[in-house]
Amino acid sequence: MTTTIVPATGTTEAAPARRTARPIPATRLVKVELRKMFNTRSGFSMLVSIGILSPISAGSLLVFGLNSDVTYQNFVRASGFPMSVILPMIAILAVTGEWSQRSGLTTFTLVPSRGRVIGAKAIATLLVGLSAVSVAFAVGALGNVAGSALAGVDTVWDISLSMVPQMVLYNLVGMAFGFVLGVVLRNSAAAIVGYFVASLVVPGILALLAQVRSGFEDLQPWIDWHYTQAALLEGATNTGKEWATLGSTTVIWIVIPLLVGLLFLRRSEVK
């Protein structure tokens, strides 16, 4: 004998409500990327090294420099010199960490859009660069006041308002170049070596070519990234031609490699 169970009529079961996943806000992505830049031993050590080396570099101006060297511009350059070397390394590690530290699977699972992740890394890099440059100006001001008092000379404030954005842009372009190398190579060691080759070796080769080939001398400012960077640091980028050469080197060394790197990055395998 079998028993048949008939469901009661007039009763309906409500279908479970489906939750729609909200995308992670861009501000949260930027905060996460900022935290990731300095919560590793390498990132933290670089942050500490900036805090140690910048005052030492500024103080060395008092020890080894002349009284005529005690100016605001020299102190800002001295305090910013360690940053100009370390900040691009921070930008490189910010990008390559997803591949070299094998955290890419977690990152791109939580945020499948790689473009959003790279964009957050770029914004975080920009914020770190602006903060570091502000520290360089502050340390330079303190060093200038203290140095002029110790040297017994008048305090010289020789940085004009037109030079400030150029000096800021100098550091930001350097960080952008390191960021681009990280996007293109996606390997920390290779990107760091590539940065020093492009910063130390390539400018010497181009300068030698300019001396040997007279026709190349006019072409050098349009393709030599280091040449236009030096003009920015000196605050000598004033004419339309000088800004055009800066734009040309930026396109050659930053914009085009970044576009190519992003194209391959979106398709690269994350292990």
Tell me the per-residue pLDDT of 37-54, one tens digit each, with 9 for 90 and over.
888 777 788 888 888 888
Helix (H, G, I), strand (E, B) or coil at 270: coil
| Whole-number pLDDT of residue 233 | 81
Classify residue 65 by its DSSP letter.
Answer: S
Which range of residues forms the domain containing residue 137?
Answer: 26-265
| Whole-number pLDDT of residue 38 | 82
Residue 259 carries which side chain, given as an amino acid letter? Answer: L
Residue 12 lies in a domain: no
The whole-angstrom separation of Cα 51 and Cα 79 is: 10
| Whole-number pLDDT of residue 26 | 85
The whole-angstrom separation of Cα 253 and Cα 98 is: 23
- pLDDT lower than 70: segments of the chain: 1-21, 101-102, 270-271
Residue 187 lies in a domain: yes
The whole-angstrom separation of Cα 165 and Cα 170 is: 8
CA distance to 23, 224, 245, per residue, from 204 (Å): 48, 10, 18
| Whole-number pLDDT of residue 127 | 93
Residue 1 lies in a domain: no
Residue 180 lies in a domain: yes
| Whole-number pLDDT of residue 115 | 86
Pseudo-torsion of CA 200, 159, 129, 49, nearest 10°? 70
Residue 65 lies in a domain: yes
- pLDDT tens figures, 173-208: 999 999 999 999 988 899 999 999 998 899 889 989
Residue 224 lies in a domain: yes
| Whole-number pLDDT of residue 15 | 52
What total number of domains does the chain contain?
1
Residue 111 lies in a domain: yes
Residue 16 lies in a domain: no
| Whole-number pLDDT of residue 53 | 87
| Whole-number pLDDT of residue 210 | 87
| Whole-number pLDDT of residue 268 | 73
